[in-house]
Chain A
Amino acid sequence: MTNLSKRLISQDWFPLLLVTLVGALLLAIISNSFLSAYNLFVMLRILSVTSLVALSQMLVIAIGQMNLAVGAIGGLIAILFGGMLEVYGLPIGLAAAVGLLLGLAAGVLSGALVAYTRISGFIITLALLFVFTGLNLGITLSIPFYKMPQALKDLYDSYLGPIPSILLIPVLAAGAVAGLLYYTRPGRHMLAMGGNPAAAELAGISLSRTTIFTHTLSGGLAALAGMVAVARLGTAEPTIGADWLLPSFAAPVIGGAVLEGGYVSVTGTMIAVVIIVLITNGLLLARTDPFYVQFFLGALILATVLFNRWRSSVNVASPETTSGRP
């Protein structure tokens, strides 16, 4: 037990977990309705989308780039998914598979553009943000697809035994991404590229291939997020994804990711998503003006970045003393 708690405390994300628990406790004290089944369910619904968005961005951060088109890809796939269901009446499974493939394809496109033009990923994905958003609005004329099949809503609200199915989405996605990053060659190559691109290349890792691979996965996760959002809202709205950019960066950064690449924390990112949901939810419960949500989110990002800087300066202060021959 002591061993386990020691390991827990030594984790990078442990302070975050404390913040989350304290925050949840405070909310439970302030508001009777916080722990109500309905409220927990509402939070879980937000969590299901935001966690996918955060993981999508986190992968690109891992290789030292950014993907501004996360929301645009999610939004485009969301309305294509809705269109396939409403206009063409495709089965949900098939529509979801096609949506996922299109999301991966969008990722291949942005990855290949970044890898082969060697133009900064910031600019490429900024351009694609507008391209995908423009396609979205051109197809929908900004009118949502309203008639989603009842089966989709039922699936979203279903239970696997006592567990709501939508809880599986963040859990499975996080598990898969963590496994990828720590236990597969492509995942190790991604973090190596983020950590020191020159060294990775000299060691024989193809930076182009790794870039394309990463953007492809990021596109796939963004597409999943878009389709889950459709299920959650019950309509395929063209505005899906428009407000994802801020949380997509906020969660990995609060979770401890190094923006230059080379280090991300899946657990940290997921806890950060919970914190973001708590802030959003808590401020509503406390009847605060919802416009202040962004203020608190910004303050939290600043606080965590400063905290991480302080912590790494404490750790790095004496590299020689820890380097000795064991």
Chain B
Amino acid sequence: MGALLEVRQVTKIYPGVRALNGVDLTLRAGEIHALVGANGAGKSSLVKMLTGVHGPDEGEMRLRGEIVRFSSPQESLAAGIAVVHQERNLIPRYSIAENMFLDRLPTRHGVVQHAKMREDARRWLDMLEVSFDPATPVQRLSVAHMQLVEIGRALSLNSNILLLDEPTASISESDVDRLFKVLRRLRDQGAAILFVSHKLEEVMALCDRITVLRDGKNACNDRPLEGMKKVDIVTLMLGRENAVSDLGVRSQRLGERRLELKSVTTELGHRDIDLYVRAGEVVGLYGLVGAGRSELAKAVIGSHGVITGGEVLIDGKRTSIGGVLEALRKWRIGYVSEDRKGEGLILTHSVARNTAITIWHAIAGQLGLVSERGEESAIRPHLERLDVKMTSLRQTVGNLSGGNQQKVSVAKWLAADTRILIMDEPTAGVDVRTKGYLHQLVWELADSGVAVLLITSDLSEMIQLADRIYVMNDYRVVEELTNSREYDLMSSSIMNAIQIDNDRVSVPKPAAALA
């Protein structure tokens, strides 16, 4: 059978990162093709290429055998490739019909024909076997139904290639079934569908073939799913050669339990959260996207999501943390955000200001004034320790490289002299050297007595750095493992814990898991 869309040996280089490195992908009519990979493996870069957001640096894309090159999302759409993004892209107050035909509203003598539009929309909605009134404003629909509207729009464009990016991330189990029914029918009618997901059970249930990406390369290309098991896919995703690089030996001088959560529940849906971090210990919190790790961290520091039950203990004493300010000033808990640009830094401000922001109250003079000199002398040692490459302390943070930005967002917590440091994806999007540097730093911090709670989706990083690992799934802690630092052993126990838990909860899915 001929390929509808072929991607051959594409390479995409972003500053400092080779996001895609000679990747192949083949989509055929009448097939649902799975694209899976761990975070940062290159899935979204590949989708961006197919949808015309970024062009490839090397390699080619063929549509029905002919070489194509898209320089905008509109061109990709015009070529018959429709994409349903992970987040919804609809005009909230507009009707279903109008959202479907927004770029080609039917008019007669310049007057928009709302009635005709609703009739046309009806046809496509019938095809999806849904019975919404096309005049309903989309803001009244649930997320799953909005997704169906977007699929309807894709169909109305006569696209026979449909890309779905994590379509089940925010919809309920019964809506997933409904979506799958629709997708299978479209496949049987001859559409080529790319299903990007990290939910392996769904991939196994729905897809015909699979392409796995790892570190920007094909871990497997266009392989039939028949006969494959979940564990095979996991192995492809994580790789075996991903050995743990040598950081030396961790000194095991652990102190008392500094932060402890007992049966904590939150309004976001966390349940059964039991964990502790000792002084001088690096504790990992591993889970797939959506497991509720960052959300838990934010609830603990009082930034977002109220703790509704259980106990939070600091130095063995039961406490309640009233807010971020109290977490920092009174309990000296720092949080390195995973969202460096959105939450970690003020990009338009200088390195000095970004670093000193946590200690302004401490270095302010008698009138409450903060002098530049005071700032600089307080933070310089920390920036030097992290070897931040900058022209001066007054350089704008936004102009630094990603790696150096990340160092600054860590440095401000060093300056604050925190006793408990929560690091959320500390090496996301940084180059290999900075990564090594930050790894070294995590251990140094622990050696100096800080209790470190490390959240990372990079499994090899987790196994390399953590002393103990808690595995989270579906807003619960499902496993606690002492890290042997043997990659194969650890990765399979972690993945097993997640899969077992998924199998357990896959039938009745509590509403809280959708939060």
Contacts and interface: CB of A to CB of B under 8 A. Distances in A.
B93 A185 contact: no
Interface string A153-197: 000000000000000000000000000001111001101100110
A7 interface: no
Chain A contact residues: helix, strand, loop or mixed:
helix
A205 B103 contact: yes
Contacts of A199: 88-91
B107 A196 contact: no
Given A185-B105, A188-B105, A323 B142 contact: yes
B304 to A, nearest CB: 21
A202 B91 CA distance: 11
Interface stretch (B131-139, B180-188, B425-433): B131-139
Given A188-B98, A192-B94, A322 B140 contact: yes
B189 interface: no
A195 B139 CA distance: 11
B132 A205 contact: no
A147 to B, nearest CB: 42
User: Which one of A185, A203, A262 has the highest number of Cβ atoms from chain B below 10 Å of its Cβ?
Assistant: A203
B101 to A, nearest CB: 9
A262 B103 contact: no
Contacts of B85: 202
A198 interface: yes
A198 B105 contact: no
Nearest to A196: B91
Interface in B51-85: 73-74, 77, 85
Contact of A203 (B103, B110, B131): B103
A319 B138 CA distance: 10
Contacts of A188: 98, 102, 105, 112
Interface residues of A, number: 25
A138 interface: no
B130 interface: yes
A196 B89 contact: yes
A326 B133 CA distance: 7
A183 B106 CA distance: 10
B228 interface: no
B92 interface: yes
B341 interface: no
Contacts of B94: 191-192, 195
A184 B94 CA distance: 14
User: Which one of B73, B99, B132, B140 has the highest number of Cβ atoms from chain A below 10 Å of its Cβ?
Assistant: B140
Contacts of A185: 105, 107, 110, 112
Given A184-B111, A188-B98, A200 B139 contact: no
Contacts of B98: 188
B111 A183 contact: yes
B145 interface: yes
A243 interface: no
A289 interface: no
A319 B111 contact: no
A106 B306 CA distance: 52
B425 to A, nearest CB: 25
A3 to B, nearest CB: 18
Contact of A325 (B74, B93, B132): B132
A259 to B, nearest CB: 15
Given A183-B111, A326-B132, A192 B142 contact: no
A320 B142 contact: yes
Nearest to B111: A183
B243 interface: no
A203 B89 contact: yes
B515 interface: no
Contacts of B92: 195-196, 262
Contacts of B127: none
A203 B140 contact: no
B141 interface: yes
Contacts of B74: 204
Given A188-B105, A196-B89, A199-B89, A323 B112 contact: no
Contact of B102 (A182, A205, A319): A205
Interface string A202-235: 1111000000000000000000000000000000
Contacts of B111: 183-184
Contacts of B132: 325-326
A263 B145 contact: no
B378 to A, nearest CB: 35
A182 to B, nearest CB: 8
Contacts of B110: 184-185
Contacts of A203: 89, 99, 102-103, 153
Nearest to A203: B102
B116 to A, nearest CB: 13
A195 B99 CA distance: 11
Nearest to A189: B102
B107 A325 contact: no
A222 B98 CA distance: 31
A323 B112 CA distance: 26
Contacts of A182: 112
B145 A323 contact: yes
Given A184-B112, A188-B105, A326-B133, A202 B142 contact: no
A185 B73 CA distance: 21
A262 B94 CA distance: 9
Given A183-B111, A196-B89, A199-B90, A319 B139 contact: yes
A192 B89 contact: no
B90 A196 contact: yes
B515 to A, nearest CB: 14
30 contacts: A184-B110, A185-B112, A188-B98, A189-B102, A191-B91, A191-B93, A192-B91, A192-B94, A192-B102, A195-B94, A196-B89, A196-B92, A198-B89, A199-B89, A199-B90, A200-B91, A203-B99, A204-B74, A204-B77, A204-B102, A205-B103, A319-B140, A319-B141, A323-B140, A323-B141, A323-B142, A325-B130, A325-B132, A326-B131, A326-B136
Given A191-B93, A195-B91, A202-B89, 12 more contacts: A182-B112, A183-B111, A188-B102, A195-B93, A196-B90, A205-B103, A319-B140, A319-B142, A322-B140, A323-B142, A325-B131, A326-B132
Interface of B: 73-74, 77, 85, 88-94, 98-99, 102-103, 105, 107, 110-112, 130-133, 136, 139-142, 145, 153
Query: Which 9 residue pairs of A and B lie closest in terms of their CB atoms, listed nearest first?
Result: A204-B103, A199-B89, A195-B91, A203-B102, A192-B91, A322-B140, A203-B103, A183-B111, A323-B141
